[in-house]
Every structure is written in C-alpha cells, then in structure tokens.
Structure 1
C-alpha cells in the first residue's frame, strides 16, 4: 500500500485536467522516459487546444444554435440498468450523483467540466434544467406505432432553459441533483419549490422517466475539459411490470444521443452479467456505433466464480464483442466504502491496489494492465475526445462559416433607414416591382412560372367543360326489356379466354344505362380536379362512397324523354320538330357550367396571389418591417380583389347568362360539321343497340345462344339491317346530334371568352396599372407631402433595430469562434510536426 501511496504522490495533473505519471515503473530506460515526456508535451498542447475549443463551443451553445445544425462532440454514457454507470460518472467527474435501489438516473444528466485559468478560482457547479419536451398526459398500455419517439413527451419547437441553482460545495451537489431530477419528473409543479427544498424524505414523482435534461456546468482548477451525458440505464421491463411504453421511451432516448456521428459512446457493461445479454450493447451495435465506442467493464470484483477467463481474455483482446476503441476495466467503491464516505483519492488508491493484487488481474491479465483503472480510462477519453473534436473541426468550421454568411445575407436586407433620398428609394422600389409584374404576366424568363401554371388551369377548365357534354343512353326501355328476356346460355367459344373471365367467353354488354359518348372518358390519373366543389350524389353506404367525376354531372338523355319533350313542344300534326324544343334541350346541357367556372376563377386568383406576394417579398425584402411593405401589400391586395370581383361579375357571370339566354351562333358551318359528325356516331351506336336486341329476341325463340364472333358477323349483314328496319327514334337521334353539335361549339367559345378576358383585362392591368396605382395610393409623387410620406414609409420599426444589433453581436461571437477553431487547427498541425505525424483530417 505504501508503494501505491508513493506512486500516487508522484502523479501530476496535465493542463487538460487528467492526471498521469511522469515516471514509469522500475526498469524503464532513459529512451522510454524521453519518449513518454515527448508524449506528455503533445498531450499538454492538445489539452490546451481542447480547452479553447470547449470555450468556443460554449459560445456557440449560448447563441442557441441547435445540435442538428452544429455538431458538438461529447461523450455519451450508456449501459443497462445497474451496470455501474453512476459510479463511473462519479469517478470521471469527481462528483456525487444520486443513488438509490434500482434505477438511479431517470433523465439525461449532462455534465460539462472545464478548467479555470484563474489562480483564485473556486470549484463551482451551475445547475440548470433544459426543457425541450412537453408532457401531454398519461397514455394507455398499447401505444400505436405512429406516436412520437419520446411519447408521452412531445418535442416543442422552442425549448426553455431554467436556471435551477448554483453550488459551491461538492458535498451539497448530490442532494441538489436529486431535487433537480425531481423537478424534471414533476412537470406540473413549479421548479422553485424543488430548488429551495431542504434535505428530507423524498416524495413520489409524477413520472418515471423524462427526456428533458439536467445540465451541470462545473468549473474549477485542474478539471478535465469534457462534455458527457449520463443516460438512464436501458431496461427491458418496468419495475411494476406495467406501462411497457416506458421501455421504448428509454431506448429511444439512448438512440437519440448515440445516433450523432460526433458522439463518443462510453458503453458500461457489468462483469457480473452475461455480456451477450446486454441490451445497451445490442443497441449500440444495431446503430452501427461500434467504431466510436469505448467499452468499460465494471464491477470486476463481482465476476461470478467459475467464469471462463478465456471469454474475458477474448473480450479484452477484441476477439469477442469487439469495439473500435476496445475495453477498459474500472473498480469503483463498494457500498461499504460509500457508507464510510470514501473520497475520490482513496477510491483511486483502492482501485489500483485491487488490480495489482487480485487475480486474474494481477498476473493472468497483466498484459492488459494499461487498460485497468479510472486514470487510464480518463486519459483515453481525453485523447479520444480530442481526436473526435479534431475530426469534427472541418464540419464545425463549415457550419460556422455558413451561419456567418446567413447573417451577412440578412444584414444586407436590413440597411439603415434613409432620410435624404427616401423618395427616390420608394419610387425605385415600386418601379422594380412593376417591372417584375410585367415579366410575370408576359411569361418572360425567369418569371415564367405564373403563365405556365395558369395555362394548366385553363386547360383543366376546358377539359372539365368538354367532359360535361350531354350523353345518350344506348337502348330504349323496350329494347332493354327485350334483352332482359333473352336467356344467357354458355356459348361455345374456341380460343384463349379473355382476362376478364378466365375460362369463360365474354358476353356482349346489355346494361340499360350504357352511354354513347364521342370521346373516351379521361383516365383517373389525368382527371381534372375542377369539380371538387360539386355536390355528389347521396351514397348508399359510407363505405361505397365514390368521388364525384366531372362527367357524372353531364346531362344523360333517354330517347323516350327526348320524344316526350319534342311532342310536348310541337304544335304540328305531322311530327315536325319545334325549334323551341331543341333550344330547351340545349339549355339543359349548360346547367352545370357555373361550378367549374367558379373553381377556375378561384384557382386563377390563388396562383396570381402566390406570385404577386412572391414578387413583393423579393423586391421589398429589405423594407419588410416598414410601412412601405405593409401599405404596398394592402394596395396590391385591394387591387387584385377588385379586379377579380369584376371578372367574376362583369365577365364570367355575364357570359354564363348570355349562354343560358338562348342558343346563338353565327358559325353555322362549324355547327353543321359537328352535327353531322355526332349524327354518324349516334346512328352507328343506335344500329348496334337495335341489332343486338334483335339477336337477343332470336335467341329467345330458338333457345340458343349466339357467340360474340357470330353476333358481330350477323350484325354486319344487310339481312339484319332489313329485318330490323328504320330506327323508330331517328327523329330523336337527329335532335340529339344537333344538341351535342351545338354544345361542342358553345363550350369552346365559352372557355375562350373567359380565358381571353382574364388575360386581356386582369393580367394586363397588373402590367400597365400597378405602378401608377401604388404611386397614387402611397402618395409619393405629385403631393406636397410626398417626401415626408416617403420618409414615413421607410421609418424604422423599433424591433428591426434590435434585431439588427442582435445579428451583429451574433456574428461577432461566430467570428471569434472561427478564430479559435483556426488557432486550434494550427496547434494540431504543430503537434503533428513534433510527433512526425501526417494527418490530413484537418
């Protein structure tokens, strides 16, 4: 023990806060000592750099830059429940953390230690609560998969930092940490009552675990410059066997901290448990974090008797459960030692004596002696964290530079408010906006998006109106009844079955509501969305509700209904068609034009507002907090609203009224051409329907079925045409052809009229009138107070100046941090030169 004490007395503290021995064991050569001293000098230089970088990182943290934006290296301590993590944290940080039976750590504990350069500096610990998550009540046992990762905690957009208390006596810290953790686990309570509480019997907490963090910022002479997080031990079940979602919460919490590639993972594994069953080890490996993990085997004195030394030898050798940085072994005080209040120095002496005298550590595992003890672990963590910081420097530098550039860009649009040339600035800004609006409505590059989007809406409007054209049901009621009487025996069919009925021949359709249409119905992927506001038919059941299609609103005529209309309107005794009947049928087909028309106008207004606002934000960006922006936006909004209202009432509604007043066209040639084309389509379809009905009647008489092939061949013969004779609904078919022919002409003219008016009046007004409207509305010209108005419009918003100054201060801190990073980079290069190392990381 005397040798141990003497060895401890010869240890000193390096500038980075970690103790190491200046002398080696007996028998070391002078060359070895020189090499060790050279390494010490390197560690001192690196340690100084780490200290400066920690300060730089602290300044960045003070700016509120989130860790997702700026990668900040830190040590993350993970392990299973009761793996000895708390003791390990105490050994590294030289503080006392809360202890209890079972789970001690119930929320993340972040510890930042840094050495103070002031000679008279005292040990100080600043405790704060970082509340990034809000608690939203308890949840049932079965939690659905789409819950947030930390459920029942939900991440807030902006976190809050609560100053809890400051401690100057190490002995008080354990109790303070207990109360800070209680404050985190009781979100419904005021934290002040916990900060002021005195020692006493602990009360039950509202919650078992929390993702919110207790942060310790410890400073003092000789402390290591470290940042590490102690996480709750990974559990597989809760203490009472209920609330299994807490198991998921704790594992997700560990994943969140292990995931960043800048994190150095300290994996604590108890030697009294089977390493293969470690949930924490499995979590680290599942996240592919082995390459940045340091293993720590704890509780070596509790290794079960009879455990295979070969297994643990393989672990230390990296042959089993390998980690990139290998395993270290530490021996922390027993409960008996803790009860007698053993201090940190005594604990380290006892630990060293254990590894020097106890088997298998003293002889069987002597080859791993450099990995035994807390001092060895501390030195390794210091060097590895240094390496981790060094590897992260390029990204940190890039992120800092990017943030500086963002601030410069923002400051560029926050100039000082002008007073002398205010009028010329306002007029110039309004002219710039008018020029962009001119390019927008003309579709000039790079402002062509408005015209492209609007043309798409125009085409959609046209497609919907055309899809609403009237349709004619294929068969009359009598023909449908005849088809229904025909038997449907299985026809003989040779060849490959169709895809519709595998193994069966497909019969000809005889649906009574099958329609005859000129063009095929649009495919679902290209169906216009203009009828989104139309009222669908009442569904039979909610499960069978189907979306409304444009052609669902198209007028469907039955031949019997057309005949009734013609007879009702006709005063002739010889069956002549009254033109009023045709007009009536035509106007019936225009009943649903208002819905797509209004939707088109709404879409036009929306797309125009988006691009106008985008142009306004682009030109007025540097004046966005002034009255110039606010009043200009109000004038433009009123301008657009007024012109759109005119288009709706004076143009669109009027055009619809004219169309519905009476069918009128002077384009007789086009009308006749459409009538002839539609008549040919209808007559062909009518013959097919009547011929199929006749074949069905024949099948009824003979009791046989006609195959599709024979049916098509029979229908094409002149014999069948003679048998079925003239179409008794020829008059009605001719009228329907005229109705649809007129619809084709009128629908195209209607769409063209609406689109032309929008382009020639609405869009043109933005090209020619917007500049004058802004000038007049803002009173910046031809007014006795024009100059004063311009000064007022550009007047500074008080909050704008506050924001500008805050940006300048933020930039200054970032530039200071950048200087520290560059200085640290230089020091690393000097270390490489001293040790003859070539490293291209930085």
Structure 2
C-alpha cells in the first residue's frame, strides 16, 4: 500500500515534467482543442460522442469561482446567474477580443395540465416539463455578440438574459437580447436588461429549470484553449416545496453528462467540507466515472486549522484508503473580486508570501505542482487534446458515415427540376410507355394467369355438385340411410383407421385416363396439369373463398328420387322431367358469385400492384410533388371505373349461365357423363357390397393409387358380388347425378373461359390504350398549351416534405462543416509533423518506421512526458 502511494505521489509531483514540454506541444494542443470546440459548437453529439470537460459539484462548492478561473475572464458569480441551465464555455486564443453567446435548444417545453411533482420524473421523462427534440429539430441560435473588450458586469447581463430566454420558451428569444443603455449621460456601450427580461426576473419565469444550454465562446490574447460544461449545482433539498421535483431533475441532468463515455469529469469539492458529504461524488460513482474524474479542491484558504483536517485531506490526496478519482486532484484558492487579484492572491497563498491571506500547511508542499488554477488549466488543455487525438479517426468515420446516410436520404427529396413542365411530361410519357410495355409482356399475362385465372377456374370446378351414394346401401327401402357424408377425407367414428397407403405405381396410359376421370374422394374432378396448378388452391390460403357447406351441400340419391317423383308426368313412367335437372344445376351455379367477385378483386389488385410500381419509377424525380399524389389517385379512380365496367359485363355472363341448362357441345357433355357415371357407379357398388357383407363402410381406394392388376381384381370381385345383390334400384338417380355433374363441367369451363377472355381481350387492351390520355385529361394537361398555374399546382410539395428536406440540408451543412474541421486539422498536423521530423536529424530510421498514418496520436505520444499520463 505504501509503495503504491509513493508511486502516485511521484507521478503527481512530477506531473508537469520538463518546463518546456507543454510549450513544445502548445501549438498542437491549440489546433486540436480549437477543432474540438468547433465540432462541439456544431452539435454533432447525436452522431458521435466527443471528449469534453464537465464541471460538477454541490451547491456552494466554489464552482462559479472555478468556472471564471478556467475561462480566464471574470465571469459573473452573483446568486442565480447560470445556475438554472447548463452553460457551455469555450475559450481560445485570438488576436482580438470577442464574446459570442448562443442558445442550444435541444428540448421542447411541454407543460402538463397538472402541478409537476416527483412522480413525473421518470426514467423516460427525466426533465419534466422538457422533452427531447428529434436531432433534426434541434436549433442553435446566436443570441448576442460582443466584439470589444468586455467586463464581468457586461457578460453577466448577457448570460442572465440568455438564461431568461431559455426559461421562457413561449416568448421569442429576441425579446430578451440586452440593448445598449440609452439616455442622458450614457455612452451607449453599457448593456442593460430589456423590460421584459427585468419583469421575468423579478416575478417568475415559465420554467424553473431547463436542460437547454447557454453556449459562451470567448476569444482573446493570453487565453487558454479549453471548452467545458458547467452544470447547476446538485442539491438534496429545494428551497420551495413545490420545486422538490427539481432535486431529481438536476441530479438526472448531472448523471446524464457524467454518463457520456468521453467526458472528463471535474468534481469541485470545497476544502472546508468532507468529501463523504458530496452528492456530486455519489453521482460520479453511480455513473462509474471515477477513472475519468479529476478532483478539484476549492476554497483551500478555508481549510480548518486543525491537524485532523490536514491529515484527512493528506490521506485523500494519497488515495487512501481508496482513490476517489482516477486522474488525481488539483487544489485551488480564489480570493478577491477580480481575475488579476485572484491570480496574485492564489500564488501568494500557495507560496506563503508575506501578503497572503490564510494559512497553507507545509505538509501539502509535495503536491506543489498540483496547486493553482494555472496548473489545472495546463493539464486540462493537454488532457482534452490527448483524448480527442485518440478518438479522431473514430469521430471522422462516424461523421463520414452519417454524412453518407443524410446524402442518401436527400436523394428521396430532390430539388425542383430546372424545367418543371418538361419533367412532368417526361414522367407521364414514361408511365404510359411503361404500362404498355409491361402489359404486352408474356411474363405479365402468365403471372396473372397463375395468380388469378387458374385459381378462379379451380375454385369454380371445386364447387361441382356432390352426391352421397351410400344411403340405402343394400338397396332395400327399409335400410337405414347412412347420413354421414364420407366423400371427404375425414372418416366417421364407426370406421376403421385408413389402411396404410401403398407406394404410387408407375404411370401408364390407362392409369392416366383413370386419374383424369376420377377425383380423390369419389367425386369427379377434371385433372389439371401440374404446371398450371395454383400454389394456393381454394380453401388453403387462397384469396378465393369457398362457399359454406350449406351453399354446396351433398345431395343423396333419395333426394334425387323424391325430386323425380315430384316432377313426374302422369302417364309417362320411366321418364325424368327436365324440372329435375334444372334445380340441381342452378343450385350449384349459384355458388359462382363468390369466386367471381374474388377473381375481379384479385385481378385489379394485381393490376394496381404492377401499375403502381411503374408509376413510382416513372415519377421518381417528382415523387414528392403534388402531381405524384394526384396521378396515383386518378390512376386508382381509373381502375375503379374499369372494375365496375368489368363487373357489369361478367355479371351478365353469370346471370345467363345461372338461368338454365344450355349447351350445344353434345360431345363434351356425353364424354363427361360417361366418366361421371362410371365413377359414381363404382363408389355406389363398393358401398352396396360392403353393406351386404357387413363390412365397415369406408371409401374405396383411389383409382390413381391402384395398379392395373388391382383394378382387374376389383372389377372381377365386384362382378361376382353384384350377382348376389340383384339390380341397382337407384340406377335412374345415378344417371341424373352423372348428367348434372357433366353439364356443370361443360358450363364451368365455358364460364371461366368467358370471364378470363374478357380480361385478356377486353380489360387489358383498354387499360393499355386509355390510361395515359386519362391522366393527361384529369391533370389538366391534355390541351396543347399548359398554363403556369397548372404546372405550379402540380409541382407543389407538402409542408412536411419541405421541412424534412430543410432538416436534412441543415444537418448536411453541419456535417460538411465538421468534416472540413477534421480534414483541416489533419492537414495542419501533417505539415507540423513534417516540420518537426525535419528537425530530428539523428533519427531517420525512427521517422521511417513511424510514418504519418495517425499523425495526431503519434505526435501526442512523442510530446507526452512519460510521467504525464493519467494519474
């Protein structure tokens, strides 16, 4: 422990190194810190964290005096000045004096409709009633500029007014800018508070606190190169009960600045108090920022005159029992009313001169190189420059990356074209040509066929009438009918499990014919070639809805018998009246309404998707203009008109098909009837035989799963078994069912063909030829001479688009300026590095090995004494 303490002491004692070390590095430090200050002033913290100094401390910890000392000018120290919002101070050397004050407005004031309490201060709402703006909405406005040599009172007036402008956000900040004093005996150079600012200060501001920042930039001869944040002093007890929530708000603000990973924390702690009582230290520890904290002991002249106090502080400076800060301590004493007096009295105090005020124990002499604000400023200037040099490549990378993002986003918000009328006509021409070219492509019609036409056809075919051939399976009137419809794939509870399916046999011509004739569940479905089958069959994720069971219910043979009997003509036994076929057919056709509507909807959805893509490409230059929005709406209106027209045409076809049975295609009708009768009869015989033998009634195996040998055996077995059953009592009903299903197939194929050809040969050609002229007419551009008013109207942008472009352009200018600062710094450093290397004549090999890939960090390493590292 003792050895470690002595090492720390040695580092502290020799902290400054050779007297000329910092002087050699002075120009580099100035360039680096100037660049850092300019980057911070530009507000790129939303892109990358920059190194910064943050001054924190409890109330009455001596921060105000320390702030003035670091700034090198007599800043105001009156009660209440700059204690209700953060202040960012940037000081740098320059030939001429100047003082500029800015307002960094990154939070919006949103007052709730109730009295703010501690309950309103949450993890997501740290500074009520202030809410963080979007980065693009944040503003930095210049408040006041003073070009002549200024004094403390003048700066105090400007800062008081700037703070009042921040605390009263509903009033324009210009109302708070101080004016030169007027009147008899005034030279017009003295600044005074405006009347509004005076009233607000005397009464009460809208807000008691703000996280928005007052930025003070001071330039002048003999100033240090520093920039830092001074935060309001943290406290445990508010003066007014209604302001108790501010305790947590100010602590949240301090914690947020402490949490910045590249922040160097300056912790102000007075020497007349114990460090354990410091609330600021507790926040530093909570933020785990001890390793990047510098302790600044203020008010050394108020050290209690007792050995215990001296010993306690000696232990603290030696890091016992544990170091409180990772970067050690500095000790200050600011006495007097102005800056010059404070400098002299501090030097006299630490050197125990005869005219010094106060007592400085000799025990602290081992920390002599850490006593005084001037030594602190030199260290901070160097430390800040070193940290920035380390992260400069990362900063450059992040700024460049964000700049590319913003530039890319700006492409979506292009400036108005040089010739708006020509650009409008070009966009419309490209759109019209694009639609014609797309609709004419074979790929387009094939995509529509797969997505819409074929799915529609399959949906209609799937609604073919279904008949239950299992009732009265034994053929006896007294037999109890099987009322469960087993034509589907599911089985009734009385059935045995489905036997294991054998491997599919090789396909043969006769097997292909069977597959074409018979469906999988005993109902007849015409086979569809594999390459035309939709990936979304009806009822399985398809946009085409299958009618409910009630709409397409399964008829029984007994149902058909009863219909035949009701429609029988007296004196004509054995004849089936047309009145039997008609209801069975029209009942099935009525289910076409749903898939027809789905087909029309999906067809126009497909068309709109295609045409919208063409519109987006053709109007890419004017996409943020009114013409794009209007053209899109007119295009949708155009398709809605054609949808209604197509709906009317197809409804007529549907009405004709549903009216009655009709076909002249006798050959197809007979072919389908034979196939349907064969299938129905096979199923019927299978159930009759099973019922007669007392076997489980379950669906017969699918013919496409059977070999020719299996089929031959089945045929022979059925012929043998049927001889024991006698004639089929429902032969007439089976013929009616086969005819109805056959006529349905003829009509369904005809109907789907007519519907699809109305799209292919009617709708698409009309769209192709009319959409371009339709847009020209609706936009008011169909006439040979277009008025400037129409062009102006079509090129108008929405307010949010204008705002978005302005925000992106503002951020781009900020990032462009940041990149210029970084590149200029690198160029200056390379030049300085070359000049420096030229003076190192005895170490050419080291120069070659070292190179200049990272000139800033390399020069920082060369100029840094070995004992000048982080204490």
Category of TM-score, reference length = shorter chain: 0.5 to 0.7
Hey, what does 1:73 align to over in structure 2?
50
How far apart in 1 are the matches of 2:254 and 2:581?
75
Decide whether the 8 Å contact of 1:136 with 1:153 is kept in 2. Answer: no
Q: Could you tell which deviates more after superposition, 220-229 or 610-619? A: 220-229
Give the counterpart of 1:41 among 7, 11, 27.
27
After TM superposition, list the pairs within 5 Å mapping 1:79-94 onto structure 2. none
After TM superposition, list the pairs within 5 Å mapping 1:9-158 onto structure 2. 32-50=18-36, 53-54=38-39, 70-71=47-48, 73=50, 75=52, 109=86, 111=88, 113=90, 115=92, 117=94, 119-121=96-98, 123-127=99-103, 129-132=105-108
- Cα 1:130–1:398, aligned 2, differ >3 Å: closer, same or farther? closer
Q: Please give the TM-score of this superposition, normalised by the length of structure 2.
A: 0.58
Q: Please give the TM-score of this superposition, normalised by the length of structure 1.
A: 0.60
- Cα 1:277–1:827, aligned 2, differ >3 Å: closer, same or farther? closer
How far apart in 2 are the matches of 1:402 and 1:172?
42
SS in 1 for 2:292: strand
How far apart in 2 are the matches of 1:73 and 1:282?
21
SS in 1 for 2:32: helix
- Cα 1:353–1:565, aligned 2, differ >3 Å: closer, same or farther? farther
SS in 2 for 1:530: coil
How far apart in 1 are the matches of 2:78 and 2:671?
92
Hey, what does 1:456 align to over in structure 2?
451
Hey, what does 1:213 align to over in structure 2?
212
Decide whether the 8 Å contact of 1:112 with 1:228 is kept in 2. Answer: yes
5+ residue gaps, structure 2: 1-11, 147-153, 177-193, 270-274, 304-308, 353-359, 472-479, 487-492, 497-520, 526-532, 698-716, 838-846, 856-871
Hey, what does 2:8 align to over in structure 1?
none
Decide whether the 8 Å contact of 2:90 with 2:218 is kept in 1. Answer: yes
How far apart in 1 are the matches of 2:815 and 2:823?
12
Decide whether the 8 Å contact of 2:84 with 2:163 is kept in 1. Answer: no
State the shift of 1:671 in Å: 3.1
Hey, what does 2:137 align to over in structure 1?
159
State the shift of 1:134 in Å: 5.2
Q: Could you tell which deviates more after superposition, 190-199 or 593-602? A: 190-199
Hey, what does 1:171 align to over in structure 2?
156
* Deviation string, structure 1 residues 523-568 (Cα, Å, up to 9, x no partner): 999933536xx8xxxxxxxxxxxxxx76567522363883586257
Hey, what does 2:585 align to over in structure 1?
586
After TM superposition, list the pairs within 5 Å mapping 1:522-541 onto structure 2. 527-528=540-541, 530=543
Decide whether the 8 Å contact of 2:226 with 2:381 is kept in 1. Answer: no
Q: Could you tell which deviates more after superposition, 344-353 or 762-771? A: 344-353
How far apart in 1 are the matches of 2:735 and 2:123?
61
Hey, what does 2:183 align to over in structure 1?
none
After TM superposition, list the pairs within 5 Å mapping 1:103-502 onto structure 2. 109=86, 111=88, 113=90, 115=92, 117=94, 119-121=96-98, 123-127=99-103, 129-132=105-108, 159=137, 161=139, 166=144, 169-172=154-157, 179=164, 182-183=167-168, 196=197, 198=199, 213-221=212-220, 222=223, 224=225, 226=227, 264=263, 266=265, 272=276, 294-297=292-295, 312=319, 326-329=326-329, 346=342, 373=376, 376-400=379-403, 403=406, 414-417=417-420, 430-443=428-441, 452=447, 455-458=450-453, 461-462=456-457, 464-465=459-460, 479=482
Give the counterpart of 1:789 among 766, 783, 786.
786
Decide whether the 8 Å contact of 2:97 with 2:218 is kept in 1. Answer: no
State the shift of 1:414 in Å: 1.3
Decide whether the 8 Å contact of 2:455 with 2:537 is kept in 1. Answer: no
How far apart in 2 are the matches of 1:639 and 1:443?
22
SS in 2 for 1:127: strand
State the shift of 1:441 in Å: 1.5
SS in 1 for 2:823: helix
- Cα 1:303–1:355, aligned 2, differ >3 Å: closer, same or farther? farther
Hey, what does 2:559 align to over in structure 1?
562
* Deviation string, structure 1 residues 451-490 (Cα, Å, up to 9, x no partner): 7478434455456555656666898796469x9xxxx99x
Decide whether the 8 Å contact of 2:87 with 2:229 is kept in 1. Answer: yes
- Cα 1:317–1:826, aligned 2, differ >3 Å: closer, same or farther? farther
How far apart in 1 are the matches of 2:458 and 2:569?
39
SS in 2 for 1:384: helix
How far apart in 2 are the matches of 1:253 and 1:722?
102
State the shift of 1:393 in Å: 1.7
Decide whether the 8 Å contact of 1:268 with 1:297 is kept in 2. Answer: yes
Give the counterpart of 1:571 among 559, 568, 573.
568
Hey, what does 2:517 align to over in structure 1?
none
State the shift of 1:389 in Å: 4.3
State the shift of 1:129 in Å: 3.7
SS in 2 for 1:764: helix
- Cα 1:621–1:694, aligned 2, differ >3 Å: closer, same or farther? closer
- RMSD, aligned CA: 7.0
- Cα 1:349–1:368, aligned 2, differ >3 Å: closer, same or farther? closer
* Deviation string, structure 1 residues 191-228 (Cα, Å, up to 9, x no partner): 9899735476886988x998x63453544434756475
